[in-house]
Chains A and B, each alone.
Chain A
Amino acid sequence: MNVPFVGQVPSDIVVSWIASALIGLFVLWWLTKYNKWPVIWEYIRTTHHRKIGTMYILVAIIFFIRGGMDALFIRTQLAVPENDFWVFQSQKYNEVFTTHGTVMIFFVAMPLLIGLMNVAVPLQIGANDLAFPYLNAVSFWLFVAGGFIFNMAFFFNAAPNAGWTAYAPLSTDTFTTGPNNNYYIFGLQVSGLGTILTAINMIVTIFRLRAPGMKLNHMPLFPWATLLTSFLILIAFPVLTIALLLLTFDRYYGTSFFIGEMGDPVYWQHLFWIFGHPEVYILILPAFGIFSDIISTFSRKKVYGYTSMVIAIAIIGLLGFMVWAHHMFTVGLGPLANSVFAITTMLIAVPTGIKIFNWLFTMRNGVVRIRTPMLFALGFIPTFVIGGVTGVMLAVAAADYQYHDSYFVVAHFHYTMIGGTILGAFAGIYYWYPKMTGKVLDEKLGRWHFWLFLIGFHLTFMPQHFAGLNGMPRRVYTYSWEDGIFLLNFISTVGAFLMGASMLFVAWNLYKTHRLTDPVGGDPWDGRTLEWSVGSPSPEHPFEPVNQVDRLDAFWHAKVKGEEVPKAEDARPSPIAVKTLQPVILSIILVFMSIGFIYHWISLQVLGGAAVIAYLIIRSITDERKEVYEKEEEG
């Protein structure tokens, strides 16, 4: 399509320009008409864990819409053989599946879980905030900046196109020239730094801010999962940072780590999967934690086998670092390496199986109430088991030569990532929605959402197993009638649109809930853990004075006795909350600096670097501890 002053631009991008402009204008008008600017001003300066958690989830949902639209484009292009849908063929198709994968992993699944951690974890352990509220705001705005950088690429017709794994040598500048994959590098670097800082924040919070008397084994399972996940982040993400740094040198400064006679493309694969495999456990463990809490609450029973649940998470996390080469069975590492990695991979099924049985045993003899969060938990169990079974199939190295890079793999990881992580995030959002907003989402619309999503999900991904077994490779934009996979693909496309339609019920639900329902009290689900002992939405300083906790599910046991949770005498001081624009400004600086790198504008790089240093200096001399310590010295 020929656009005046710009030149040739694919028509989907022109449409997105127009759509974004219209939506942007509508939002501006809406914010002004309903006088919402003070709310925005409040939220962009906040360091409060609930507000930041809510923003994580909101922004993740915006990216979810984007990633979901990519998915629908993919499915429409693949609906029938030899299709030519709009522009989504060849290179354009590469861009669509790359952004779909990267956005869904880094800018949807991660922030949904981190958002829920922000909302729930401090309340569940009886803390007034995360250990470093300011740093938490920095983490959030780094994530926003990273997501912004990554998604910006599309609007400049330069979406990354080397797959979410960015395999070298394809991702080096020899084979993918242009700025496309630069966007990938800097989007992930900036948001990755935010994720690392969040992990540090969570670990310190959980180790040092638990309510007096609460031992680690008095914590609910979601904080446990968060703690262990944070350690995985701490170890896995720096590896990605360095892998991307080396790729940056290959793309920018003429080195050849991953290409050429001296370089080694397989080294990229190792580095990527040393990060990438723990990453999938980073995505699933928090979901396990959410389901454990939900199943326990809605069964009115203590979670079955608490200790074995914790140990199982720890073992999964540990084994997660020893299985990366199962993504590389066909690379040719040799039978010994393949056997070792096959066995460690299969071992993961054992602790996962323990968890599945413990969830079932938690429900056994319980008073099971089926509300929306519980429904998602019930949908998760069989779905995830299917994903686990295909995982063990894929772990058989010899058989993997057949499955590798086929739609069987696509089906497998969607069963685990959607069936586990996304269902977990939905369950968590329905469950903690009262803690975020003070209202319970509508039950009936929640059920519509659940059933349409779950049925749509199985319709989409179940046939893909068979398409894969019949030889359909992933990352292709078309197939022929002779391949005999038309029907499988067509069902898959129908299912995808059903999942898309289910999300409309979420929008309707949000509207209906906020327009028509009354606020609820602190404990709408008859909960067991501390977050239900405070008001909804959770107040800025929920625990004043803080609780004294001496057992698991302390709130439940106090409730049963008809008492309040006892208060602690000698509590530690709470972290310092501030109102500050600095994190937002840092993220704006980093966006500009990244643009400087993406387009090789050295002056903008230097300017950005100088601005970052200036930010750090200003941050240090405006330290919010100054006032507090001054008061302490006076008093």
Chain B
Amino acid sequence: MKQTSDVLFQDKKMGFFLYLIVEAIMFAVLFATYIIFTPASQGPDPSEVYKWKTVVLTSVFLLSSSGTLLIAEKGLEKGNRTKIAAGLIATFVLGAIFMVLEIHEFYKYVHEGYSITVNNFLSSFYVLVGLHASHVAFGLGWMILLMVQFKQKIPQRLFIEKHKIFNYYWHFVDAIWVLIILIVYVPYLF
């Protein structure tokens, strides 16, 4: 008989990858929406809204969080609990800083009069980037739960399974951010 946990993990992995395809299609539609409606025929142009500093800063924090998560993954492979904890906490902190910067960015835009209803460029910007931000927020909550389960006495293989699934999620969210940089920001910043 094959090892139960291994087979069930492979099932779950495949299911989760299929789910990520679903998510990818949802983001693809929102990217298309953004491309169609930007720049808008009236109201502010993206080039006057975006600040390159914010984009660079947020990107640094979020993309490096994918790197620190690799530390945790190394720890998982080697069974090194310190590495797992350090990797997870670092990832959480970087993700949280990204979240703060993102909220600050939205807040500032709204303050400057660039709210979601002003024109269709801003509408599609907020829906797309907002959906991504809510994914980051969800991931932060997920990490807290993962850390609680790390402390608890759950079977090691179950923890590894849950951790790995989270890793796929987090890397996926990062990949979407790279696309956001390339499609949303870069064409109007440089």
Contact = CB atoms under 8 A, between A and B. Distances in A.
Interface of A: 131-132, 135, 196, 199-201, 203-204, 207-208, 234-235, 237-239, 241-243, 245-246, 249, 253-257, 261-264, 267, 271, 570-573, 575-576, 613, 617, 620-621, 623, 625-626, 628-630, 632-633
Interface centre among A242, A256, A257, A575 (most CB of B within 10 A): A242
Nearest to B146: A620
Contact of B123 (A237, A255, A571, A625): A255
Given A132-B11, A204-B18, A245 B145 contact: no
Nearest to A625: B158
Given A234-B22, A255-B120, A204 B14 contact: yes
A618 B36 CA distance: 41
A633 B156 contact: yes
B155 A630 contact: yes
B29 A242 contact: yes
A573 B25 contact: no
B120 A245 contact: no
Contacts of A632: 3-5, 155, 157
Contacts of B61: none
B181 interface: no
A249 B152 CA distance: 41
Contacts of A629: 4-5, 155, 157-158
Contact of A234 (B21, B30, B42, B119): B21
Interface in B3-43: 3-5, 7-8, 10-12, 14-15, 18-19, 21-23, 25-26, 29-30, 33, 36-37, 40-42
Contacts of A572: 2, 7
Given A242-B26, A261-B41, A575-B8, A253 B21 contact: no
17 contacts: A238-B25, A239-B29, A241-B26, A242-B26, A242-B30, A249-B123, A253-B116, A267-B36, A570-B1, A613-B141, A617-B145, A620-B145, A620-B162, A628-B8, A629-B5, A632-B3, A632-B5
Nearest to B21: A234
Nearest to A248: B127
Nearest to A260: B120
Contact of A570 (B2, B8, B19, B21): B2
B119 A262 contact: yes
B46 to A, nearest CB: 15
Given A208-B14, A629-B4, A235 B117 contact: no
B4 A573 contact: yes
B41 A262 contact: yes
B49 to A, nearest CB: 16
A200 B158 contact: no
Given A238-B22, A623-B158, A625-B161, A256 B10 contact: no
A235, A245, A255: most-surrounded residue (chain B CB, <10 A)? A255
Contact of A633 (B7, B37, B155): B155
B124 interface: yes
B154 interface: yes
Interface string B46-88: 0000000000000000000000000000000000000000000
A203 B127 CA distance: 30
B167 interface: no
Contact of A203 (B4, B18, B25, B41): B18
A395 B166 CA distance: 47
Interface of B: 1-5, 7-8, 10-12, 14-15, 18-19, 21-23, 25-26, 29-30, 33, 36-37, 40-42, 116-117, 119-120, 123-124, 127, 141, 145, 149, 152, 154-158, 161-162
Contact of B158 (A255, A571, A626): A626
Contacts of A243: 29
A238 B19 CA distance: 10
A8 to B, nearest CB: 35
Task: Determine the main DSSP class of A at the interface with B.
Answer: helix
A242 B141 CA distance: 24
A131 B15 contact: yes
Nearest to A249: B127
A263 B23 CA distance: 25
Nearest to A613: B141
Nearest to B40: A262
A256 B127 CA distance: 12
Given A621-B145, A632-B3, 18 more contacts: A132-B12, A200-B18, A207-B14, A208-B11, A208-B14, A234-B25, A237-B22, A241-B26, A245-B127, A256-B120, A257-B120, A263-B120, A267-B36, A573-B1, A620-B149, A621-B149, A623-B158, A629-B4
Nearest to B130: A249
A262 B37 contact: yes
Nearest to A200: B18
Contact of B29 (A196, A200, A271, A623): A271
Nearest to A230: B18
Contacts of A573: 1-2, 4, 7-8
A617 B141 CA distance: 10
B18 A239 contact: no
Contacts of A571: 1
A216 B154 CA distance: 37
Give 3 closest A-B pairs by Cβ, nearest first.
A629-B155, A255-B123, A238-B25
A530 to B, nearest CB: 20
Contacts of A621: 145, 149, 152
Contacts of B116: 249, 253-255
Contacts of B21: 234
A234 B25 CA distance: 9
B8 A625 contact: yes
Nearest to B10: A208
Contacts of B30: 242
B11 to A, nearest CB: 5
Contacts of A241: 26
Contacts of A264: 36
B86 to A, nearest CB: 23
Contacts of A628: 4-5, 8
Contacts of A234: 18, 21-22, 25
A257 B5 contact: no
Contacts of B40: 262
Contacts of A633: 155-157
B26 A261 contact: no
A628 B9 CA distance: 12
Contacts of B22: 196, 200, 234, 237-238
Contacts of A570: 1-2
A237 B19 CA distance: 12
A544 B14 CA distance: 25
A241 B5 CA distance: 33
Given A234-B22, A235-B25, A629-B155, A131 B120 contact: no
Nearest to B115: A254
